[in-house]
Structure 1
C-alpha cells in the first residue's frame, strides 16, 4: 500500500462523515447568502463582486479553521485509539507514508469544502452581477486554500501528539481558541496581554509595534493580511492601526508601506509558511517516535 493508496482510502472513509458534509452545505449556503445580500443592487459591477469575496474571506477566516480542525484532528489519534494504525503499518507502509497519505487526504477534504463554497459564491455573483474579476476570485481562493492547509498541518501535529479521541478533541478546541478566538476579542487579545506584561509587569514604555508583532504570529491575522495582497488598494483591511504614523490615514495607499516591514502585508507569507511547515515537521517527528503498541 503506497502513500497514494493510504490517501485514497482515508479520503473515502472521511468523506462519509455526515458532520463534514453538513459543514460543506452550511459553507455553501453562507456563500450563496452573502453573494445575494451583499454588493448592492443587481447589475454588472466588478467592484461589487470584489467586495463580496472580501466579505467571504472575513467569514472564512473564522469558520475555515473549524472545518480544517474537525476534518483532521482524528487523522492519527483516531487510528491509534481504534487500533487501525497497527493494521496500516502491518502492510508494506512506512510511518512517513501513512503520515503523508493522511495529510494529502485531509487537505483534499478541506480544499473540496472551500471549492464548494467558492462555486456557490461565483454562481450567485455571476447571476446577480454578471461580473467575474478573475484576479480577486482566484487570488483569494489560493490564499484561502493555503490558510486551510495551515490548520490541517496544525491538526495533524496535534493528532500525532496524542493517542485518544478525548485529548484530540480538547486539543482542537484549545487550538481554535489560541489561534483564532484570542485575536477576535479586543479585551483579552494577545496584543492586550503582551501590553500588560510589557508595561505593568516589566514597567517598560508602551510599544505598539512590539504588541502588534506578537499578535502577527497568528495564522488568522496572517490570512487577513495575505488577502490584502490580492485585493485592490481600496478594499484592503488595515489590521495594525496603532502602528500607523499619525500623518497616514487609514485609507491611504501608503498605509501598508508606512508600517515596519515585519507588520506589512507581504510579511504574511512568512507567517503562513511558518504555520504550514513547522507543525508538520513537529507532527512527523512525534509520529515517528510514538509508541504505537
Structure 2
C-alpha cells in the first residue's frame, strides 16, 4: 500500500468538493442552524437569546443526530458505485493503484471535506459565543464538535460500504436513505418497543449495551454524560449505566464504527 497513491485520490476528491462549493454550502447550513438554535432555541419558553452552553449543546445534539448522518450518507453513497456506472472504475484499477488505496483515498478525501464543513460551521458559532462562555464551557463545546466529526465519519464509512455493495446509484441512494431512517428513527423506536412490550424485563445493562450498535446513540451518550444539565434533559441518562459514560470508551466505539464498515467495504470491493 502506497501512501502517495492514497493522498492523490484523496486530494482529488477534496478539490472536487471545494470546486463545486459543497464544503462552503454545508458549513453555512451548520452555522445558520446552530446560531438559530443557540439564540432562539428557548423561544417557546418565552426567552430569546443565549442562555447557557449546556442548553445550547443539548439543543445542538438533536440537530446533529438528524442532520450530520444524512449529509454524510448523501456525500458518500456514490463514491464507488458512481465510478462503476461512469465506466471509470475499471480504468482506475488498471493503473498502478490497488482497490484498498482507491477505497481509502476516496474515503479520506470525502472525510476531509465533511470535517472541514463541520468545523467551519461550528467554528463560526464558537467564535460568536466565545464572549458568553468560560473555559469549561469552551472545553465542552470543543468536545461536542469533535464527537460530531466522529459521528459524521462513522456514517460516511457506512455510506462507502453501501456504495461498494450497491449495483447502481439508484439502489445506493435508496440504501443510504434506508440507513438514515433505520439508525436515526427506527432503531430507538424498536428498542423502546421491546422495552415496553416486555414490561421492562430486559431493561438492564444487556439492553443498554445494544445502544452501541447505533452510532447515533453512541454520539448521544457521549454528549449526555458530558454535562450535568444535559443529562437531565434526556430520559436516556436514566437507563444508561455509568460504564457507558466514559468518553474515552465511547470515543473508541465511534472509531470502531468508522473502521469496521471500511473493512467490510474492502472485503466486498470488486470492480
TM class by shorter chain equals: 0.7 to 0.9
Shift of 1:80: 0.9
1:194 alignment counterpart: 194
Task: Map residues 113-192 of structure 1 onto 2, 5 A cutoff.
Answer: 113-126=117-130, 129=132, 131=134, 133-183=137-187, 189-192=189-192
Cα distance in 1 between the residues matched to 2:9 and 2:39:
40
Instruction: Give the C-alpha shift of residue 64 in structure 1.
Output: 0.5
Q: How does 1:13-52 map to 2 (within 5 A)?
A: 13-17=16-20, 21-38=24-41, 48-52=52-56
Provide the rounded CA distance (Å) in 1 between the counterparts of 2:237 and 2:208.
Answer: 9
Deviates more, 1:6-15 or 1:270-279: 270-279
Greater C-alpha Rg: 1
| 1:51-66 correspondence runs (5 A) | 51-66=55-70
Equivalent residues of 1:20, 1:71 under 8 A apart: no
Query: What residue number does 1:269 align with?
Result: 251
Q: CA RMSD in A?
A: 2.9
| Structure 2 contact 10–105 (Cα < 8 Å) conserved | yes
Secondary structure in 1 matching 2:260: helix
TM-score normalised by L of structure 1: 0.77
Cα distance, 1:272–1:192 mapped onto 2, change above 3 Å: same
TM-score normalised by the chain length of structure 2 = 0.83
| Cα 1:196–1:53 shift into 2, 3 Å | closer
1:107 counterpart residue number: 111
Q: Deviations over 1:30-84 (max 9, x none)?
A: 12222332586769xxx71343233223211211001111111111111111112
Question: Following TM superposition, by how much is the alpha carbon of 1:183 offset from its aligned partner in structure 2, in angstroms?
Answer: 4.3
Q: Give the Cα–Cα distance (whole angstroms) in 1 for the partners of residues 62 and 9 of structure 2.
A: 34
State which of 3, 19, 24 in structure 1 corresponds to 2:6.
Answer: 3
Contact 1:228-1:265 within 8 A present in 2 as well: no
In structure 1, C-alpha distance between the alignment counterparts of 2:48 and 2:130, rounded to whole Å: 13
Structure 1 residue 130 displacement after superposition: 6.3
State the 1:10 CA deviation.
Answer: 1.5
Superimposed CA distance per residue, residues 87-142 of structure 1 (whole angstroms, 9 cap, x where no aligned partner): 22222211111111001011111101211221221133136x36563311221111
**Structure showing the higher helix proportion among its residues:** 2
Aligned to 2:95: 91
Cα contact 1:194–1:211 (8 A) shared by 2: no
Maintained 8 Å contact 1:73/1:172: yes
Greater RCO, CA 8 A, separation 6+? 2
Cα pair distance change 1:171/1:41, threshold 3 Å: closer
Structure 2 alignment gaps of length 5 or more: none
Judge conservation of contact 2:211–2:218 (CA < 8 Å) in 1: no
Contact 2:37 2:60 in 1 (8 A): yes
